[in-house]
Structure 1
Amino acid sequence: MSQVSTVSPDVADEPAGIAQPLGAGAITALVGFTSSFAVVLAGLRAVGATPAQAASGLLVLCFTQGIGILLLSFRYRIPITLAWSTPGAALLASTGLVVGGWAGAVAAFALTGVLIVITGLWQRLGSLVAAIPVPIAQAMLAGVLLPLCLAPVQALRTSPAVVVPVILVWLVLQRFAPKWAVLVAFATAAVGTGIDIVVNDRHLNFSAMVPSVEFTVPHWHWQAIVGITIPLYIVTMASQNIPGVAVMRSFDFQVPWRASMLVTGVGTIAGAAAGGHAINLAAISAALAAAPSASPDPKRRWIAAATAGATYLVLGLASAALVTLIAAAPAGTLETVAGLALLATLAAALTGALSDPTHRIAALVTFLVAASGTTLFGIGGAFWALLAGLLVRRFLPAGT
């Protein structure tokens, strides 16, 4: 990884040239938040968070990544954007409860941040992660995502009145405005939930909508560390940080690798006790702030990133209200929105896993083990899937 370089610190901030990057930055944050917050909440709840703890986790993720974006974009004057680890949240949703419960998961989050910091300081660790064959890493991610992406189909049995409109709206928007498909699908789910509350004469807990931070004392368990920390670190690096560098390079921006790993690693450690699982370099949403559409002048695009960071700080305040609404929703509603949000990621992961015939069998084994959700010795299936794939790759002759 290259250490650092910048486009140029000399930026003329004339009012006429600021409107476009300001708008692009706000859109970057809105798309990043709305397209995957349901996945984050599903992941945190799966590993034992209460609704209040999940809301706290979503809030602290918004704050840590927002502050990190502001620090990096102002310091280097390039459009560096951060995000929470969506693949990591999907991993948590498939892992479920671990030994030590929520406190054990919180400890695993903190150790993930430590590994990210070490990656920034010690290039060898980053090289080891990069040495994992991409098809095997993608197959592990695809296996983790598969059960989540089946959730919309399964929810049809439990809450068809809410789920069917959500799926139909998502499908129509995929045809005409795919960027907004998940956001409008969630809005449809919110409307359906509101109707369900009125019809069944239930009441929302408005006092729970006030933003708050819930701290948890970490409880260290080796099973949680092996079952969460290692897979979470690997998917965050392989599916977010490394692609994030590539996306930025495609727009002729050089990411300051060490600084980015230190900021995201320290941010992950700082947010762990409040429920934040991991933050990292943005990959897909990074293009929204780094592309010419954010500003014809590359020297102004850092303004878009800074605006995204500030917008995340505001969006974080909505976390408790979102969790309260979701808690009142019919069964399967959250899982439906999360599953729809992850379909494109699943398709990309499957393509990456099976496109290279050299690793196809090993990738297939990895995918099947991860999708099975097998837990051994208190350790989730993602770890065993990665181990199985690497062993099969080692055992089979080259080209198999």
Structure 2
Amino acid sequence: MAHSDVETSVPIAIPIGAGVVCALVGFTSSFAVVLAGLRAAGADASQAASGLLAVSVAMGVATIVLSWRFRMPITSAWSTPGAALLVSTGAVAGGWPAAVGAFLCCGVLLVVTGLWPRLADLVTRIPTPIAQAMLAGVLLPLCVKPLHGVVDDPAAVVPVLIVWLVVLKIRPRWAVPAAFVAALVVIAVSVARDGTAPGLADLVPSLTLTAPSFTLGALTGVALPLYLVTMAAQNLPGVAVMAGYDYAVPWRPAMTVTGIGSILAAPFGGHAVNLSAISAALAAAPEADPDHERRWVAGLTTGITYVVLGLGSAGLVAIVLAAPDGVVQAVAGVALLGAFAGACAAALSDVDGRFPAALTFVIAASGISIAGIGSAFWALVVGVLVWVLGIGREIR
């Protein structure tokens, strides 16, 4: 049946509701990872809140522009793998201003990718097992955080994990948001007991401008790996997901708009904006609207909801600061388990490439820093080199 022949009697509230759900799931499933990444990169509480606000508004506006212009449910997101990378990399030489400079450079690379498709071709030439092994290594430290929480403060962390497991069984898509709600309950109990509730002034959203600086360590250890994981784990899969629902994402405008969004958000602490991957299905699938031509309304609604949710960034940071140790980290850890599992599967799928992939994974997960450059960069360099030289192909 042609798309134009689909019955359009479904109420407009259906795609609008799908868009709200898409934004809620995408936001609540990974904002803790974003905050953890920004804090690890050197941001203080106000700078982290500013970064969350900036990247939320940027991805919301990018989603609105792309969905409206092309009448497709093209949804944007922050780079969750990129935020995990920031956690594993930690503070770089030059501190937070250098991290902001790296965010800015990543945005420029995304724009260049849109204007010069050859750059995207170069990214796709990185062996998939190596790219995915680097991603898995970056994600591992965060994925094990819930276990540390169980040992250090079981009364606070175990209820969050139980809720996550129960909802994962019955409604997998809502498992991480449910874990976040459980964490809110734990935090509320802790605040009531300790009397540490944030004041009203702590809940007012605001932007904090940081003048970027540029260091070699930040450019090679943050900007380049951030760009690569954003492309490999978000933008390229995002295009594939949309193609599965019969939408041809306009590559150049999509990269240009999200890249410009990244550039504009960077001075305020936003790390990277990209195409949605997994959550894209919530707005693009037939469940969002049987009419293929009207699902862009779900995309538009997703963007508007992202902007609204971003206005709560200061409150979210206040909640994180008030949380018992390990609670928010547990939510971030379970949020990344699916991505970690997928990266591991892709990294080890090629028998001949298992050794270089395993080596890449180990280096990325080590968290080492050489010459001020983080482990993700070295993992990629060593992994590609070993792959090209064919070392370890006989190891099974």
Q: Normalized against structure 1, the TM-score is what?
A: 0.95
Name which of 25, 48, 62 aligns with 2:19.
25
Listed as ranges, the matches of 1:259-274 within 5 Å are 259-274=253-268
After superposition, give the CA deviation of every residue in 1:125-145 in whole Å (9 maximum; x if it has no partner). 110001001111000000001
8 Å Cα contact 1:11/1:299 also seen in 2: no
Q: Which residue of 322, 331, 335 maps to 1:337?
A: 331
How far residue 16 of structure 1 moved from its aligned partner, in angstroms, is 5.2
Q: How many residues align?
A: 393
- Greater shift in the superposed pair: 382-391 or 173-182: 173-182
Unaligned runs of 5+ in 1: 1-6
CA distance in 1, matches of 2:40, 2:391: 39
1:301-344 CA-partner distances (Å, limit 9, x unpaired): 10110010111111111111111011011112221110011011
Residue from 56, 62, 68 that aligns with 1:68 = 62
Assess, with a 3 A threshold, how the Cα gap between structure 1 residues 79 and 201 changes in structure 2: closer, same or farther: closer
Alpha-carbon distance in 2 for matches of 1:289, 1:314: 18
1:348 aligns with 2:328: no
Provide the rounded CA distance (Å) in 1 between the counterparts of 2:191 and 2:258. 40
Secondary structure of 1:280 counterpart: strand
Q: How does 1:297-376 map to 2 (within 5 A)?
A: 297-376=291-370
Higher mean alpha-carbon deviation, 327-336 vs 127-136, is at 327-336
CA contact 1:11–1:300 (8 Å) conserved in 2:
no
Q: Could you list the per-position Cα deviations for residues 15-63 of structure 1 after superposition, in whole angstroms to 9, with x for gaps in the alignment?
A: 8541111111111111110111111011001001111111111111111
Structure-2 separation of matches of 1:330 and 1:161: 10
Which amino acid in structure 2 is aligned with residue 153 of structure 1?
Answer: L
Provide structure 2 residue ranges, at least 5 long, that are not aligned to the other structure: none
Corresponding residue of 1:54: 48
Query: 1:79-94 to 2 correspondence within 5 Å?
Result: 79-94=73-88
Equivalent of 1:99 in 77, 93, 98: 93
| Separation in structure 2 between the aligned mates of residue 257 and residue 225 of structure 1, nearest angstrom | 25
Alignment RMSD (CA, Å)? 1.8
Q: In structure 2, how many angstroms separate the alpha carbons of the residues matched to 1:380 and 1:229?
A: 11
Report the CA distance between 1:203 and its aligned residue.
3.2
Q: Is the 8 A contact 2:10 2:289 kept in 1?
A: no
Tell whether 2:202 aligns with 1:174: no
Post-superposition offset of 1:199: 1.7
- Say yes or no: does 1:205 pair with 2:187: no
Write the letter of the residue equivalent to 1:72: L
Q: Which residue of 1 aligns with 2:215?
A: 221
Indicate conservation of the 8 Å contact 1:142/1:349, yes or no. yes
Closer/same/farther in 2, CA of residues 399 and 288 from structure 1, 3 Å limit: same
Identity %: 55
Q: Which amino acid aligns with 2:76?
A: L
Q: TM-score, normalised by structure 2?
A: 0.96
| Counterpart residue number, 2:122 | 128
Q: Name the amino acid aligned to 1:112.
A: C
Q: What is the match of residue 156 of structure 2?
A: 162
CA separation in 2, counterparts of 1:70 and 1:176?
Answer: 32
User: Secondary structure at the residue paired with 2:239?
Assistant: helix
Q: 1:157: Cα distance to partner?
A: 2.9
Letter in 2 for 1:294: A
Separation (CA, whole Å) in 2 of partners of 1:284 and 1:186: 19
Q: Give the deviation of 1:179 after TM superposition.
A: 1.3
Secondary structure of 1:80's aligned partner: coil
- Following TM superposition, by how much is the alpha carbon of 1:172 offset from its aligned partner in structure 2, in angstroms? 0.9
**One-letter identity of the residue aligned with 1:63:** V
**8 Å Cα contact 2:355/2:393 also seen in 1:** no
Measure the CA separation in 2 of the matches of 1:11 and 1:48.
54
Question: Within 2, Cα distance between the matches of 1:15 and 1:174?
Answer: 33
